Copies of this chain bind each other. A is one copy, B any other.
Amino acid sequence: MYQETAAFEHYIRDHGLRMTNARRAVLEEIFSHHEHIDADRLHAAMRGKGLDVSRATVYRNLDLLADCGLVRKYRLDRHRVLYEHMHAGMEHDHMVCRECGRVVEFVNRDLRAQQEEICRAHGFDPDDLTVQVVGCCITCKKARAARGSAPPSGP
C-alpha cells in the first residue's frame, strides 16, 4: 500500500492536482478488494464503512487511478465495467462465461508479446492490450451436457 500511495501522490503532484481524503479513500478501497469490482459496488462498500464519498467522486477518481496506471478498467459488456488494482506486473486477461457470468483470469506472456509485435508492425502505440473471450465455462458446459444427454426422461 505504501508504494501505491507514493506512486499516486507522485502522479498527483506531477499533474498539478491535489491529494484529498476522497482520493486516498478510493485508492485504499480499490486496493482492499483483490478482485474485480464495479464502481457502484465500490461506492456502496465505502458508504458501508461510513466513508462519506459521493458516487461522482468515486467514478472520477477511479478514472484518475486508471489514467495513472494503478487501476485497470475492464469492460465486460454494456452493464458491467469492472475495475481492479494492478498487482505489480501481473497483466492478465479474462474469459467471461456467457451463461453464469463467471470471470476467469488467465495470464499468457506469449499472447502479450505477440500483440505487442502486431502493434509494432502497424506503428501503433498500445496503452492497453485486452484479450476478451466470451464463451461457456467448463461448469456450464458440463451442466448443459447433463441436461442434453438426459432430457425430461423417458416414458
A contacts, CB < 8 Å to B: 75, 77-78, 81, 95, 97-98, 104, 106, 108, 110-111, 114-115, 118-119, 122-138, 141
A141 and B118 in contact (CB under 8 A), knowing A130-B133, A131-B130, A131-B131?
no
Which chain B residue lies CB-closest to A137? B124
Which chain B residue lies CB-closest to A135? B126
B106 pairs with A111, CB closer than 8 A: no
B141 pairs with A135, CB closer than 8 A: no
Residues of B within 8 A of A111 (CB): 111, 114-115, 118
* Complex CA distance for A112 and B28, rounded to whole angstroms: 38
A129 pairs with B133, CB closer than 8 A: yes
Residues of B within 8 A of A123 (CB): 137-138, 141
* Complex CA distance for A70 and B77, rounded to whole angstroms: 20
B108 pairs with A114, CB closer than 8 A: yes
* Complex CA distance for A127 and B133, rounded to whole angstroms: 8
B135 pairs with A106, CB closer than 8 A: no
Residues of B within 8 A of A119 (CB): 95, 133, 135
A104 and B122 in contact (CB under 8 A), knowing A75-B75, A78-B75, A114-B110?
yes
A138 pairs with B122, CB closer than 8 A: yes
Residues of B within 8 A of A133 (CB): 115, 118-119, 124, 126, 128-130
Which chain B residue lies CB-closest to A123? B138
A125 and B141 in contact (CB under 8 A), knowing A81-B78, A130-B131, A135-B119?
yes
